[in-house]
A and B are shown apart, each in its own frame.
Chain A
Amino acid sequence: LAKTTQPISMDSYEGQEVNITCSHNNIATNDYITWYQQFPSQGPRFIIQGYKTKVTNEVASLFIPADRKSSTLSLPRVSLSDTAVYYCLVGETYGQNFVFGPGTRLSVLP
């Protein structure tokens, strides 16, 4: 199973770009990389998913280098409401072969 490593916590200020990196050295060929956001006492919410190179949607970008051993979630111009825990998930979501990372607690300060 592909394990992941993320920073435990990060601080940022409103309006800044935040980059959170996840290491997954043992990622398998069929694994996708998925990021979720979780607010206290709520279920996680999907942010973005990718397999390789770069993926962008309306809330974030995901950068994946060619070797796929890491990935970086980029949040442009964060606001106070982006304060949450961000999880890196690696694996096939349809089945047991996936692992939630420990999560990165992002604090956005005014």
Chain B
Amino acid sequence: DGGITQSPKYLFRKEGQNVTLSCEQNLNHDAMYWYRQDPGQGLRLIYYSQIVNDFQKGDIAEGYSVSREKKESFPLTVTSAQKNPTAFYLCASSPHNDEQYFGPGTRLTVT
């Protein structure tokens, strides 16, 4: 059953802690993306990766880090440097020049 998964669905952390969000896909897609969505707002690109061991900053990369050691996986770390980390995080993947397939999202709450 092909698809893109994100875990966990809900995540709670204390301020000052780093947290890593998981994103896995078995669609054999080369490109993967991380977005952030705030309540009532659109999606904003954090990082994207076109191939393994390569990734590029998006519009709001400050306070975030990623890795792409495997084609199937693109974890996102929200560091303590991110000033407002509470948000809905969406991961997506796509084949070349085609639609993006989104995961179910992870809702992160930092208090």
A interface list, Cβ under 8 A from B? 32, 34, 36, 41-46, 49, 87, 92-96, 100-103
Contact = CB atoms under 8 A, between A and B. Distances in A.
Interface in B65-103: 88, 90, 92, 94, 96-103
A42 B101 CA distance: 12
Contact of B99 (A34, A92, A102): A34
A36 B43 CA distance: 11
A94 B105 contact: no
Query: For the complex, would chain B's binding face be called helix, strand, loop or mixed by DSSP majority?
Result: strand
Q: Taking chain A's interface residues, is the majority helix, strand, or loop, or is none over half, making it mixed?
A: loop
Contacts, number: 56
B18 interface: no
7 A-B pairs with the lowest CB-CB distances in the bound complex, closest first: A43-B102, A46-B99, A100-B43, A94-B97, A100-B42, A102-B42, A103-B42
B42 A42 contact: no
B104 A42 contact: yes
Interface residues of B, number: 27
Given A87-B43, A94-B50, A100-B42, A43 B103 contact: yes
Given A34-B99, A93-B97, A96-B58, A41 B42 contact: no
